[in-house]
Amino acid sequence: MRSAGPVYPAAPLHAERAGRGRVFAYGAAAGLLGDLLIGDPRRGHPVAAFGRAAAAVERALWRDHRGWGALHTAVCAGGATALAALAARSVRTSRTASVTLTAAATWAVVGGTSLGREARAVGGALAAGDIEAARERLPHLCGRDPQALDADGIARAVVESVAENTSDAVVGALVWGAVGGVPGLVGFRAVNTLDAMVGHKSPRYRRYGWASARLDDVAGWPGARLTAVLAAVAGGNPRGALRAWRADAGKHPSPNAGVVEASFAGALGVRLGGPLSYGGRVEHRPVLNGSGRPVEVADIERAVRLSRRVGWLALGVGALCAVLRDLASGRPTRSAVPTRPQRYQQDQPGGNS
């Protein structure tokens, strides 16, 4: 009579996790390359569809109250992240499908090419001396009042927007993608989009948008710091970038934008900050890198190139971290995997039955 042989356990949990880092690395690289080659579609963009859905939820829920705003944030950001998690789970058994989904999600949530395109359009108008055309294009890039800005003010606004959106539209998404895969990519973009929609201090959204703004601050924290570090590395003036970051970032009202803008200012050797106008409301922002020179039109192109270098470096950092985590989680343990095959044993005469 044969005794029951050893029962080999199913693949351990760490074996299921193994490979996720490589999926992110391959998929994110393909998605970032897709953004570089084709950019964002003019119609039918997934982020625009999310914005329409979030606006519909707002129409149903809006109250001048933080609690209702928090519910709006939970429904929209939580719903988008849950759908992304379901999509990722549905393709997890196929490496090819997982990479494809990651590539599509990365392409959908990053916006580096559109950021550079809009910045260059404003810079081209300024270089041609057409300030009215530059004012007309500026709202595509940021929410400032273009009529309150002269040519130098427009150029400064573009450089500041390129710096901030490098973190929001590229690096932050890649950071959360490296941490959480497709749900991380989609969740970060949903939070960032909600902040842009309702997270400002207008009378309508001062309370209702509070939760979205605070959540965006938390979600953007790691990406902003990585952006600042990579700007210092890639900008040609590491000491200047780090000095401006250390001295001036804390003066900015935003815990994340100040870090990124200060580092870009030091890396480019320019002076950012100062008065600005949003919808007729004037704000006096602190000066960042006060020892730098005023922004010139040519600095727009320099900022766009720095932004692109930072984006690709962020991909490299995120992919490397994800793959290293992949290797660590995929390492077999003695208790889970036998060191050598074991033979079935036969009962011997007089043995246990």
Ordered DSSP codes for 220-251: HHHHHHHHHHHHHHHSS-HHHHHHHHHHHGGG
pLDDT tops 50 at residue 337: no
State the burial class of residue 293 (Cβ atoms within 10 Å of its Cβ: 0-12, 13-18, 19+).
exposed
The predicted model scores a pTM of: 0.87
For 130-160, the pLDDT digits (tens) are 999 999 999 989 888 888 889 999 999 999 9
Is 228:172 a contact under the CB 8 Å cutoff? no
Could you tell me which residue, 38 or 158, shows the higher pLDDT?
158
Question: What per-residue string of b and e applies to 329-351 under the rule 16 or more CB within 10 Å gives b?
Answer: bbeeeeeeeeeeeeeeeeeeeee
User: Which two tokens mark 44?
Assistant: 């039918």
For 69-119, the pLDDT digits (tens) are 999 999 999 999 999 999 999 999 999 999 999 999 999 999 999 999 999
Q: Which amino acid is at 218?
A: V
User: Which two tokens mark 188?
Assistant: 């970060």
Closest of 167, 196, 176, 195 to residue 105, by C-alpha: 176
For 264-292, the pLDDT digits (tens) are 999 999 999 987 766 666 677 899 999 99
Any idea what DSSP says for residue 296?
Answer: -
